[in-house]
């Protein structure tokens, strides 16, 4: 969806094996100037994954549980309507910031 908006985006499945663990994934993206986007907020509740994410130092944005409940077209509409706000947030924070993007497009920063 992001590519359709002209965003320089890469699916993790294009670069990494589908079976890669989250810890290994975070180790592999460490030091890269990127924004990690996911809907898997469970990564923030598992100590090893949380630590690996913190050590990776990448900005991580998590779309809240509402996002997965939407149908694909509704996800696309939501993303199009809020991408400028989300991108503005991501560009304005220090690398390593972790936040949940709420349904209204606002970010709730998580301390790591």
Whether this prediction's pTM lies above 0.85 is answered by yes
CA–CA–CA angle 69, 70, 74 (5° rounding): 175
pLDDT digits (tens, 9 = 90+) for 52-66: 999 999 999 999 899
pLDDT score, position 93: 95
**Confidence category of residue 1, pLDDT binned at 50, 70, 90:** confident
Over residues 9-22, the pLDDT tens digits come to: 888 889 999 899 99
pLDDT value for 94: 93
């Amino acid at each position: 969806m992001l590519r359709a908006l002209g965003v320089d985006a890469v699916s993790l499945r294009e670069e990494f094996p589908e079976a890669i663990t989250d810890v290994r994934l975070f180790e592999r993206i460490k030091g890269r100037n990127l924004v990690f986007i996911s809907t898997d907020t469970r990564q923030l509740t598992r100590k090893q994954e949380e630590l690996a994410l913190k050590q990776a130092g990448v900005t991580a944005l998590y779309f809240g549980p509402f996002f997965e409940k939407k149908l694909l077209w509704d996800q696309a509409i939501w993303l199009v309507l809020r991408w400028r706000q989300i991108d503005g947030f991501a560009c304005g924070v220090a690398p390593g910031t972790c936040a949940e993007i709420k349904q209204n497009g606002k970010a709730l920063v998580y301390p790591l």
